[in-house]
Amino acid sequence: MNTLDAVRWGSATAAYQVEGGVADDGRCPSIWDTFAARPKAVVRGDTGAVAANIYHNPDAMLDAAAWLELDTYRLSVAWCRVITGPDGTTNPAGVAYYRRVLTGLLARGITPAVTLYHWDLPQWLQDRGGWTQVATAEAFNHFVGVAVREFGDLVGDWITINEPFCAAFHGHLSGLHAPGVQDEATALRAAYVQLHAHGHAVRTLRAEAPSARVGMAMNLSDLEPAGPTAADLAAVQRADLVENRLFLDAVLDGTVPDDAAAYFGAEALAAALDGIDVAAIAVPLDFLGVNYYEHNVVRAASPGTDIVVRGIEKLPVGEPRSGNGVAVRPDGFTRVLLRVARRAPDLPIWVTENGIGLWDYLGPDGSCNDVERVSFLDGYLAAMGNAIDQGARVEAYFHWSLMDTFEWSFGYQLRYGLFYVDFPRGLVIPKAAAGHYRTLIRAARSGAIDAGTAPPAA
């Protein structure tokens, strides 16, 4: 058997990034509706109000997924479409929309994987303190119960929370994401309340759907010291604490990293953990979702320039890099997968996201020749093959994203899609990378991609 034979191939999007229709059929506002309306929060004042209009035209998304011949497709269900407000009432129109999407996937032979929280917290919960309150985790648990009862006949694969690092530290420290708070202690609290919500959600999913496969999607970064000095090594440890270990330790072991109190302060850590049983977060999972984007070279710096981690500087990234300056380093992908594999050897890994943001455009012939994404796919799938070869149990790969989306604070400028979205005209056009990904999927299925070798060109 070849390295990539057993991988299930997928792609992904999230509700707020593609749906639009934010005021339709009883959807209540989310923190991203509020945040995006703030002056300068998002490039050019873009919002998700219309996005790719998938709420009104889900077939565009479903047909794109089918065109790729995917095994599986990851989408998120928007809490604010399914639960109308504080009284917890279920919104039949929201349920009907997602049932239509899920049925459409199944009809096309594609297995859905549903994310339950992809950053669109209902605004009414933010008004009560959002992710700083354990009550938010309880409200989430209510939504999770509704979702599994309403959709459990169509969905067997569930992802509790997407990238709790980003929702905590970009939502509450850098302020780049909703709700746009800038306070470290609040960010730490938001991290632990989300982790607590994850543990509860897994228990609820298991109780309601014993045969479901359940995991979380964690973005993990690959970090390298700028030099061999003790100061640079300590800088890497600090970045690793905030970006990786806080989340890995809680979810895999039910522990708090030893250096968390020294870094955040004992008082802030105690406040963050108030009412939270960290051991209960490490409920057994069926897979760990890994979202891989970031490799950074880190050096100690005083006072530091990083927007999240104190006392460090991330060095400028060389070529090749993404449109927004993220390093293209497939070797980092291999390392991150192997780190998880060594840490939790029996736990399957699903790569729940991996992709590249580019300033894509349509040429005069109407096509999008995203050559950088084509070579990204070659490099990253070879890197994944290398990790599998060395023992990583990677069961699924979801390329981010299926189509261009509302890319959070980058608005519509930065594009990750395999399909180009002509937003005003609502057209969804396969980019060169879509054809290439389909070719790679076909080759992997037929065993034509061998361990660790670069996949063949389309």
- Distance separating alpha carbons of residues 348 and 213, to the nearest angstrom: 11
Token digits of residue 290: 């890994």
Which of 14, 50, 195, 268 is the binder for ligand IFM (CB under 6 A)? Answer: 14
Site for ligand IFM in 258-317 (CB under 6 A): 291
- Distance separating alpha carbons of residues 112 and 115, to the nearest angstrom: 10
Pick the closest to residue 417 from 425, 427, 405 (CA basis).
405
- Distance separating alpha carbons of residues 373 and 437, to the nearest angstrom: 10
Q: How many residues bind ligand IFM (CB under 6 A)?
A: 8
Query: Residue 350 CB, nearest distance to ligand IFM (Å)?
Result: 14
| Closest CB to ligand IFM among residues 91, 291 | 291
Token digits of residue 53: 């209009």
Query: Residue 357 CB, nearest distance to ligand IFM (Å)?
Result: 6
- Distance separating alpha carbons of residues 224 and 386, to the nearest angstrom: 20
Answer whether the bond into residue 225 is a cis peptide, omega within 30°: no
Query: Residue 52 CB, nearest distance to ligand IFM (Å)?
Result: 13
- Tally Cβ neighbours within 10 Å of residue 342: 11
Which of 400, 419, 420, 437 is the binder for ligand IFM (CB under 6 A)? Answer: 400
DSSP state of 456: P
Pick the closest to residue 100 from 149, 151, 29 (CA basis).
151
Query: Residue 405 CB, nearest distance to ligand IFM (Å)?
Result: 6
Residue 443, burial from CB neighbour count under 10 angstroms (0-12, 13-18, 19+): middle
DSSP letters, 68-83, are: TT-SEEEEE--HHHHB
| Closest CB to ligand IFM among residues 9, 416 | 416
Query: Residue 415 CB, nearest distance to ligand IFM (Å)?
Result: 10
| Closest CB to ligand IFM among residues 287, 293 | 293
| Closest CB to ligand IFM among residues 353, 372 | 353
CB contact set of 375 (below 8 Å; sequence gap of 6+): 320
* Catalytic residue check, 353: yes
Query: Residue 184 CB, nearest distance to ligand IFM (Å)?
Result: 22
Site for ligand IFM in 139-178 (CB under 6 A): 163
In Å, the largest CA–CA distance within the chain is: 60
| Closest CB to ligand IFM among residues 242, 282 | 242
| Closest CB to ligand IFM among residues 17, 111 | 17
CB contact set of 346 (below 8 Å; sequence gap of 6+): 393
192 lies in the binding site for ligand IFM (CB under 6 A): no
Active-site option among 150, 294, 313, 353: 353
* Catalytic residue check, 150: no
Query: Residue 285 CB, nearest distance to ligand IFM (Å)?
Result: 19
Contact 456, 441 (CB under 8 A): no
Site for ligand IFM in 409-438 (CB under 6 A): 416
β-partners of residue 399 are 11
Active-site option among 163, 243, 294, 407: 163
β-partners of residue 11 are 73, 399
| Closest CB to ligand IFM among residues 243, 407 | 407
| Closest CB to ligand IFM among residues 16, 264 | 16
Query: Residue 1 CB, nearest distance to ligand IFM (Å)?
Result: 31
Token digits of residue 254: 């039910």
353 lies in the binding site for ligand IFM (CB under 6 A): yes
β-partners of residue 299 are 313
- Distance separating alpha carbons of residues 166 and 96, to the nearest angstrom: 30
Could you list the residues that contact ligand IFM (CB under 6 A)? 14, 17, 163, 291, 353, 400, 407, 416
Active site residues: 163, 353
